[in-house]
Amino acid sequence: MSGGTPVQRPIQGFDWRKTPGLGVATWVFLAFLYMPLFVLVVYSFNANNLVTIWTGFSLRWFVKVLHNPDIRDAAINSLVIAVVATILSTLLATAAALALERGRNFRGFGTVNGLISLPLVVPEVVVAITTLIFFSSIGLNLGLGNLIIAHTVFCIPFAVLPIRARLKDMGGAYEEAGRDLYADEWRLFRRVTLPLIAPAIGAGGILAFVTSLDDFLISLMVSGPGTTTLPVYVYGMMRLGVTPEVNAISTLLLVLSVSLVVLALLLGRRARSRD
Amino acid sequence: MIEVRHVSKVFTTMDIGTVTALAEVSLTINDNEFFTLLGPSGCGKTTLLRLIGGFETPSTGEIRIDGVDVAGLPPHKRRVNTVFQSYALFPHLTIAQNIAFGLEMLKWSKADIDVRVKEMLALVRLEGYGERNAAQLSGGQQQRVALARALAPRPSVLLLDEPLSALDLKLRKGMQVELKRLQRETGITFVLVTHDQEEALAMSDRIAVMSAGHVLQIGRPEDIYDDPNCCFVADFIGEANLIPGALLGRANVNIVTIRPERVTVGPGDAPAARIAGTVAEVTFIGPDTLYDIGLKDGTRMRARVRGDRGRFHAEEPVTVHWPDEAERELAS
């Protein structure tokens, strides 16, 4: 080494990735975020009756969950609500996204634009309470229907986001080309616009589905006897003490949600990589 | 035939108010003609193309295609097709499906469509590419697919919006020849929009030179080059010397224009010179030598002299000569 010409280091600008301690900080941060989830998942496989004492690996809590009729009913409620609310909200979101991105500039555009994303920023407890008051004041009592309506409303902004982004991304050129090639409005939508935004609609639908499935506050307020959703049921169980069964349900919900969100991301990426 | 009569287009935007993109434009494009709208960006040429295509509606005036007033006709009801600057090939369809798209919308039979798609792929020399996706083709190939797609429904007019701007120089030259050939073979009226004057001169039957929403001059490439009607046209097409009339002793003439290749340079004491000056710069470019000559009021003049191997040097006093028929007097 000695006697050789010193190696000229290339001069670099400040690189935040080289900050000392960044690696450690990142791991601490990630641990803080995900340790609780990790512990929850691990203990869902615990053989012991007590949540916090590990005795051995077992799937008994999952078996128990699957054989509990109350949990099954709640899960079916949750799924029915999520599926119907997803379909309705995605349809409405697609229409809204098309109107906002492709429609003529109309009076009150800004207002509508704001109103559509408002549910994203309004505290959920406020939406929950006002929804409850609204339903009882007009005397609407449709059982699951009430929940479906409430879920459809708060799912719309989540479904709108990816569809609007896709429409903005792809620009108007494809649709102009379609019009130029003799497509009227309906066939233009069916043959050009819809296939091009389909992955985004899929992504929006999945986001809506996950949002609906995970919702607790609004469901708690609006649900009644017989219309309990899974998160509300779990909350009920917790009041009697945390059992490993709760861990098992949570693990199942977690796996479902995460895989759906990953699927939504993949759909979005496929749409972008195609042009 | 396309007749554009007194067409204006005013855009209203939220932030900057109104913008006049086209002001009282009138022109006629004949059948089977290769017609070019030429001008710098923002001159209104693309707006005029979009008006013909039906993507915008004129604020005033009238556009007739084959004798029919097309006001209020949406793009899908006009026998006009467009090659878009971005090509806009449908990414969810194959090349063959892209070409078939317009034919399907016009409700051609499946058999006719298959025949026509094959024909078009052959026309643009892309046989065997039908099953590929647009993303798998090079820029030049995508360009040819866009052409095939737009020509397949046999439009009466083909609009081309800066179709060659995304290609590199070599491909562009090739596509210029290709476009000329396609126009000749199909007999369809081509309306090309470009800011590239060389491209316009090389391809067009006639050119409309546009600036700031106005059509300044319409004519054959040779006529526009030899006989520009104003300084803008003289300067925009090719290279031009613009000399104040007063400098040549013509008080009632605003500007005199001469092409550099028509100018000759003589020694400082040569008789019968148009004007005297001093060589500012000599540039040897192979077959020609360029002389930049400073005139007495500071006006720069350029001479492009064939075969001259640097006969004069910088700082040398010279005289400048040109024949009468080489110059044009311009009012503006």
Q: Please report the pLDDT score of residue A11 as a whole number.
A: 61
Residue A14 forms part of a structural domain: no
**Does a structural domain hold residue A11?**
no
Q: Is the pLDDT of residue A50 over 80?
A: no
- Whether residue A38 sits in one domain with residue A70: no
* Domain match, A118 and A220 both: yes
Number of domains in chain A: 2
Q: A1 falls in which pLDDT band (50, 70, 90)?
A: very low
Residue B171 — very low, low, confident or very high, per pLDDT cuts 50/70/90?
Answer: confident
* Same domain flag for A151 and A39: no
Kindly tell me the burial class for residue A178, based on how many C-beta atoms sit within 10 Å of its own C-beta (0-12, 13-18, 19 or more). Answer: buried
**Confidence (pLDDT) at B277:** 86
| Residue ending a domain, choose from A39, A58, A77 | A58
> Would A230 be classed as within a structural domain?
yes
Residue pair A88/A148 in contact (Cβ under 8 Å)? The answer is: yes
In this predicted model, what pLDDT tens digit does every residue of B257-273 receive, in sequence order? 999 999 888 887 877 77
Please tell me whether residues A37 and A134 are part of one structural domain.
no
pLDDT for B288-301, tens place per residue? 888 999 888 888 89
Last residue of a domain, one of A38, A58, A78: A58
Check whether residue A151 and residue A168 sit in a common domain.
yes
Query: What pLDDT is stored for residue A12 in this prediction?
Result: 63
**R_g (Cα) of chain A, nearest Å:** 25
Determine, yes or no, domain membership for A246: yes
Q: Say yes or no to pLDDT of A274 above 60.
A: no
B95: confidence class by pLDDT, cuts 50, 70, 90: very high
Residue A6: exposure state from Cβ atoms within 10 A (0-12, 13-18, ≥19): exposed
Q: Do A233 and A183 have their domain in common? A: yes
A3 is a domain residue: no
Instruction: Give the dihedral sign, CA A265/A270/A273/A275.
Output: negative
> Same domain for A170 and A51?
no
> Could A174 and B149 be called an inter-chain contact, meaning their C-beta atoms sit closer than 8 Å?
no
CB A173 to CB B88 under 8 A? yes
Q: Taking CB atoms and an 8 Å limit, are B82 and A180 in contact across chains?
A: yes
Residues forming a β-bridge with A176: none
Q: Are residues A39 and A142 in the same domain?
A: no
Q: What is the CATH number of the domain that holds A167?
A: 1.10.3720.10
In a domain, A4, yes or no: no
User: Which residue of A173, A179, A191 is in closest CB contact with B74?
Assistant: A179
Confidence of residue A6 (pLDDT cuts 50, 70, 90): low
Do both A97 and A208 map to the same domain?
yes
What does the pLDDT read at residue A3? 45
pLDDT tens digit string along A63-93?
A: 888 888 888 899 899 999 999 999 999 999 9
Predicted TM-score (pTM) of this structure:
0.80
**Per-chain mean pLDDT for chain A:** 86
Å from B159 to nearest chain A CA? 10
Residue at token pair 């296939």: A195
Average pLDDT, chain B: 89
Task: Verify whether the Cβ–Cβ distance B150 to A180 is below 8 Å.
Answer: yes
Q: What is the per-residue pLDDT for B206?
A: 95
Are A147 and A237 in a shared domain? yes
Give me the residue label for tokens 């070599």: B170
Contact of B34 with B9, CB cutoff 8 Å: no
Residue A141 token pair:
């009592």
- In which domain, by residue range, is A29 found? 22-58
Q: Which of B49, B84, B92, B97 is best to mutate for the A interface (most A CBs within 10 A)?
A: B92
Give the pLDDT band of residue A10 (cuts 50, 70, 90). Answer: low
Q: Percentage of chain A surpassing pLDDT 70?
A: 93
Residues A46, A162 share a domain: no
* Nearest chain A Cα distance for residue B135, angstroms: 7
pLDDT at A57 over 90: no
Token pair for residue B310? Answer: 């640097």
User: Is the pLDDT assigned to residue A7 strictly greater than 70?
Assistant: no
Query: What number is the ipTM of this complex?
Result: 0.82
Q: Specify if A120 maps to a domain.
A: yes
Residue B80 in this model has a pLDDT that exceeds 60: yes
Whether A4 has a pLDDT exceeding 70, the answer reads no
Contact B75 A179 (CB under 8 A): yes
CA distances from B156 to A94, B53, B181, B202, B315 (A): 37, 12, 17, 23, 59
- Characterize B198-224 residue by residue with b for buried, 16 or more Cβ atoms within 10 angstroms of its Cβ, and e for exposed: ebbbebbbbbbbbbebbbbbbbebeeb
Find the angle CA(A53)-CA(A55)-CA(A61) to the nearest 5 degrees.
85
Across A34-43, average pLDDT: 87
Q: Specify the amino acid at residue A28.
A: V
> What distance, in Å, lies between the first and last C-alpha atoms of chain A?
53
Give a yes or no: residue A17 inside a domain: no
Say if residue A268's pLDDT is above 90.
no
pLDDT in tens, B8-56: 999 887 777 788 889 999 999 999 999 999 999 889 899 999 999 999 9
Contacts of A187 in chain B (CB under 8 A): 105
Q: How far apart are CA A132 and CA A137, in angstroms?
A: 8
Q: Average of pLDDT values for B153-174?
A: 88
Q: Which of A51-55, A208-212, B324-328 has the highest mean pLDDT?
A: A208-212
- Do A53 and A91 have their domain in common? no
- What does the pLDDT average to over B302-320? 84
